Structure 1
Amino acid sequence: MTGLRLALETSGPVGSVAVADASGVRARRFLTERNRHAQVLPSAIDAVLAEVGAAWGDLTAVAVGVGPGSFTGVRVAAATANGIAHALDCPVWPVSSLAAAVLASEALPGSTAPWPVDHGGAAPGRRRVLFDARGDRLFTAVYDVGAGALIEVEAPRFARLSDVLTRPAADVFCGDAAVRHRDVLEGTGSRVLDPPAGVPTADGVLAVWARSPGEPVAAGAWSPSYLRETGAVRARDET
């Protein structure tokens, strides 16, 4: 089997793995056990490969959600993607987890997801994605979703809710932080989309790759997108 692509996304509470070929996504698994992505990710990859009758050596590329999101979750996907790419001498396509989330839309019939997911049919328009970073802090980006295209209007960044409200850039919001701050956002006349809209998954990573592929990179030649300093880095710099 040739032309098989693997996608990984573990930036959020629920991680996911998918394999796809030229015909589309062939198999997927969701990692629903919180804080155990590192332990269950290898077996999930084994499972999707077995489902399509493939082996690890059949993979020709890896696409990975690079964050932002859970610091540990982002590291898990990054380390796994780099390890596979190095072992198989195949390229890596880093994809923003915010971009992957913006393509989530309607239910996928027969999905085994903990919620229904379809990343191919996002309604056209401009959307701001908000990921929760605790309190009024969040990760955000703005995208134009069009027929077969995804255009980054505002690059992923770390922000506070007040900053987003003064620079709206879009009147449609999605993501877990948008749901958490629904009352405030809807009070400004904006629309908040419910999950699965705004949920990053491996399907979404593949959808971004298809719409806006960018350039592949070699294993280890890229960095996860944390968008903020870790507590360890802040403590180091303050000493």
Structure 2
Amino acid sequence: MSTILQIETATTSCSVALSRDGNLLDFKQIIARNIHAEVITLYIDELLNKQGVSYNDIDAIAVSSGPGSYTGLRIGVSTAKGLCFALDKPLIAVETLEAMAYGVITSDGFEQDSKLLLCPMIDARRMEVYTALFDTTGNRITATSADIIDEQSFSSYLSGNKILFFGDGAEKCKAVLGSNPNALFLDGFANSATYLTTKAHEKFREDRFEDVAYFEPFYLKDFIAGKKAS
């Protein structure tokens, strides 16, 4: 039996979830900017207390590893690593875009389709997004990348497949590619720690753990600090 605490802070979602043997038990989350540091540990405490689970009952901590918000990733990974050190528990990393894809795949009513590709998108700057393509079984089609969206984006895939775009970066894609009949958009998708469940359980069974001391988030791009207003 495996009880896994799951943490997602790579986007505007600050989310924690608890799963057992690959089944979601409960979760708590809020969608808001710049709130992760304030609530993440409180949410973990509340979630565990609600489920009657002690910290020592946890078998592993899974964290959404990026790409995404630099600050959000630092908060989530630091929290996960701190718990792993304190509790002597293994760390599981799940790439954020992969977790998002599994969030759609495991949603109620979703049907596998060999002609459909999934394209999770995380908003970066201006017309840029962090993205990758997956098929409807979760297999990766393209590597994770930072792409600037224009009229030619995904053209080689859209010519023979429908693509479902979702995530907080999909809106800017919709403005450019929305007229393409093969471009589909899933409105209202919110990232969540619940989406880590499938991959976290798989990695736990296969003992695919991270080195807690040396693990770092997958930033994809270097952090660029903005200028402070005078």
Query: TM-score, normalised on structure 1?
Result: 0.81
Q: Which residue of 2 aligns with 1:98?
A: 97
Contact kept, 8 Å, 1:93 with 1:216, in 2: the verdict is: yes
1:69 aligns with 2:57: no
Say which of 207, 213, 218 aligns to 2:198: 207
1:159 aligns with 2:150: no
Q: Which residue of 1 aligns with 2:10?
A: 11
Question: Percent identical across equivalent pairs?
Answer: 26
SS in structure 2 at match of 1:187: coil
Q: Which residue of 2 aligns with 1:174?
A: 166
Shift of 1:211: 5.7
1:225 aligns with 2:227: no
Counterpart amino acid of residue 156 in structure 1:
T
Q: Which residue of 1 aligns with 2:175?
A: 183
Listed as ranges, the gaps of 5+ residues in structure 2 are none
RMSD between aligned residues:
2.6
SS in structure 2 at match of 1:62: strand
1:194 aligns with 2:187: yes
Contact kept, 8 Å, 1:11 with 1:66, in 2: the verdict is: yes
Listed as ranges, the gaps of 5+ residues in structure 1 are 107-117
Contact kept, 8 Å, 2:149 with 2:176, in 1: the verdict is: no
Contact kept, 8 Å, 1:98 with 1:200, in 2: the verdict is: no
Q: Separation in 2 of the partners of 1:167 and 1:145?
A: 18
Shift of 1:120: 6.8
Shift of 1:167: 4.8
Number of residues of Structure 1 aligned to a counterpart in Structure 2: 217
Stretch moving more, 75-84 or 97-106? 97-106
SS in structure 2 at match of 1:153: coil
Contact kept, 8 Å, 1:37 with 1:73, in 2: the verdict is: yes
- Counterparts in 2 of 1:123 and 1:174: CA distance versus 1, 3 Å: farther
Counterpart amino acid of residue 187 in structure 1:
S
Contact kept, 8 Å, 1:105 with 1:121, in 2: the verdict is: no
Counterpart amino acid of residue 76 in structure 2:
A
- Counterparts in 2 of 1:65 and 1:119: CA distance versus 1, 3 Å: farther
Q: Which residue of 1 aligns with 2:54?
A: 55
Q: Separation in 1 of the partners of 2:10 and 2:62?
A: 14
- Counterparts in 2 of 1:187 and 1:210: CA distance versus 1, 3 Å: farther
Shift of 1:203: 0.5
Shift of 1:34: 2.6
Counterpart amino acid of residue 77 in structure 1:
G
Shift of 1:210: 4.0
Q: Separation in 2 of the partners of 1:129 and 1:204?
A: 12
Query: TM-score, normalised on structure 2?
Result: 0.84
Q: Which residue of 1 aligns with 2:129?
A: 138
Question: Could you give the per-residue CA deviations for residues 71-123 of structure 1, whole angstroms, max 9, x where no partner exists?
Answer: 111111100111111111111111111111123349xxxxxxxxxxx647643
Shift of 1:69: 1.4
Shift of 1:188: 2.5
Counterpart amino acid of residue 180 in structure 1:
K
Counterpart amino acid of residue 27 in structure 1:
D
- Counterparts in 2 of 1:50 and 1:174: CA distance versus 1, 3 Å: same
Contact kept, 8 Å, 1:31 with 1:40, in 2: the verdict is: no
Shift of 1:219: 1.2
Q: Separation in 1 of the partners of 2:31 and 2:170?
A: 22
